[in-house]
Structure 1
Amino acid sequence: MRSVSEEPVPLHEEFIYCCGAATHVLKCGPWKDLSKDESKNLPRLLFMIIPGNPGLAGYYRTFIQALYCGLNQQYPVWVVSHAGHCKPPSGMEMIEDTDIKELEDVFGLNGQVEHKLNFLKKNVSKDIKLVLIAHSIGCYITLEMMKRASELQVH
């Protein structure tokens, strides 16, 4: 008989374009899109990790799995890489090939703040409460996010 801690922890990995830059996202929990699913069964709380430098999502893999298990697998735990701080999979470029330039400098500090806000806007419903966990420069990014978007429901 396997104990709960030996069960595989569900982990979803994706590479997306956010603000035109390649972005690595790791998600613990079965919830792949919290912006479109209005199900009453989904939790209305998201734990989101903002990395330090380098902003590699993979560095936090073990941490988010442990946190997810520590929360009795009831709340999604996501980590979002910094814009461009990932090696995109084959066939994906570092910068999206588009005529629209979303940010002047998505790779700079201001751009990283806007990158995280844009990610939330496109992927998380406004009624979902957030617990933001950050490391190093991620703390600065988090504070700036809260200043710029006072509508965020941060707990």
Structure 2
Amino acid sequence: MIPMLSKPFSPPPRVFSNLRTHFFNCTTILRSAKPMGSEKLGLIQTRKQAIFRLANVSGFKTELLEISCHNPALHIVFVPGNPGVVSFYADFLDWLFEFLGGTASITAVGHISHSGKDSESGRLFSLQEQIDHKISFVDNELKDVDVPVVLIGHSIGAHICLEMFRRSQEKVAYCICLYPFLAVDRTSSTQSLIRKIAASSALCAALSTIGASLRILPTSILKFLVKNSIGKSWSSSAVEVLCSHVLQYHTMRNMLYMAMTEFEKLPENPDWDLIRWKRNRIAFLFGADDHWGPLHLYEEMCRKVPDASAEVEREGHTHAFSCSEAGSVWVARHVAGIIKKDNGRNLSSESKL
């Protein structure tokens, strides 16, 4: 782990007090919400759509999802888990923008070569390379952004965000970790199995070949197989993303290689010093049944950092929350609440959110 900087961070004074002033002050590209029983959830029927863009970040083709405002109060950078395909999070990002009242610009940054096309000619990228890639995005792509940056990370993306926070303290004001994978759990049989598979180059190649070969099936049959196996509770858009992006040889090899380096790099305990030091600038959401961020880790966090902002989602959503529309809506609402409440309280005494 990178040593902590010795000097404390003083966040920018202008943060979230103008959120209400900028309510819906953004461009007007809207779409109808997908049928999902929104009327039962009390949600409005139109929401802005995240726009896909292919960018060059630190020399690598990178898939982005973006929602922009004309005069935002903050800029959110979202880092996905593994697989790091940003299209899985489109619904979540759309609803997050909506629940923040259209006052934040949002950019989701995909992992290198976790993409629809093999732009890197089969090269494999480690966890550290993905961390450096995201730090480069903040340092270079957001260098002219003069509003606070909020990091949101899912699963291993939470670990990446904490490393970004550590190394970009003048730019980043807050960090939110969703269903975080912060430490290796030796007691988890699922983690143990994945670790053994990822450590075998032969197994990784075989599984990637099998996954990619499924694409020869007619699209309707492939989607049917996914929907009736791992995607039983998934939205149609999540099923589509898995078929188009994940079931490709280069993506699966990079997923498994990154997983191998995750198990090599992550310790058996999170960086409690960093969490304790930045406890007023970090929030955590754990799942009630999540082997990547188990409840015993949440309980240990509460003991070691009693005043940490840590909660448990007990609504029945899974680690892959963004693959269901209900999960996307619930987590987006929760994250918006954290930003309005915690950031308003900690970073701007004038905020009335």
Q: Using structure 1 for the length normalisation, give the TM-score.
A: 0.74
Contact map agreement 2:77 2:151 (CA 8 A) in 1 = yes
CA–CA distance in 2 between the matches of 1:75 and 1:56? 22
The one of 38, 60, 65 equivalent to 2:89 is: 60
User: Residues 33-48 of structure 1: matches in 2 within 5 Å?
Assistant: 42-48=71-77
Matching residue of 1:150:
169
Deviation of the 1:137 alpha carbon: 0.6
Structure 1: which 5+ runs fail to align? Answer: 31-40, 97-104
Change over 3 Å in CA distance of 1:13–1:24 after alignment to 2: same
CA–CA distance in 2 between the matches of 1:122 and 1:129? 15
Per-residue CA deviation, residues 54-89 of structure 1 (Å, 9 max, x unaligned), is: 00100000000000000111111221101111113x
Alignment of 1:76 with 2:95, yes or no, is: no
CA–CA distance in 2 between the matches of 1:154 and 1:49? 14
Change over 3 Å in CA distance of 1:71–1:8 after alignment to 2: closer
CA–CA distance in 2 between the matches of 1:73 and 1:94? 33
Asked which structure has the greater RCO (Cα within 8 Å, sep 6+), the reply is 1
Matching residue of 1:140:
159
Q: SS of the counterpart of 2:120?
A: coil
Alignment of 1:107 with 2:128, yes or no, is: no
Deviation of the 1:107 alpha carbon: 1.7
Matching residue of 2:120:
95
Per-residue CA deviation, residues 12-31 of structure 1 (Å, 9 max, x unaligned), is: 2101121222211001234x
State the one-letter code of the partner of 1:127: D
Alignment of 1:25 with 2:64, yes or no, is: yes
State the one-letter code of the partner of 1:15: L
State the one-letter code of the partner of 1:143: L
Which has the larger helix fraction? 2
Matching residue of 1:122:
140
CA–CA distance in 2 between the matches of 1:20 and 1:59? 24
Contact map agreement 1:44 1:127 (CA 8 A) in 2 = no
Matching residue of 2:209:
none
Per-residue CA deviation, residues 114-143 of structure 1 (Å, 9 max, x unaligned), is: 101111122212532111111111011111
Which has the larger strand fraction? 1
Percent identity, please: 28
Aligned length: 132
Matching residue of 1:5:
44
State the one-letter code of the partner of 2:134: K
RMSD: 2.5
CA–CA distance in 2 between the matches of 1:46 and 1:60? 17
State the one-letter code of the partner of 1:52: G
Deviation of the 1:148 alpha carbon: 2.0
Q: Using structure 2 for the length normalisation, give the TM-score.
A: 0.34
State the one-letter code of the partner of 2:60: A
Q: SS of the counterpart of 2:53?
A: strand
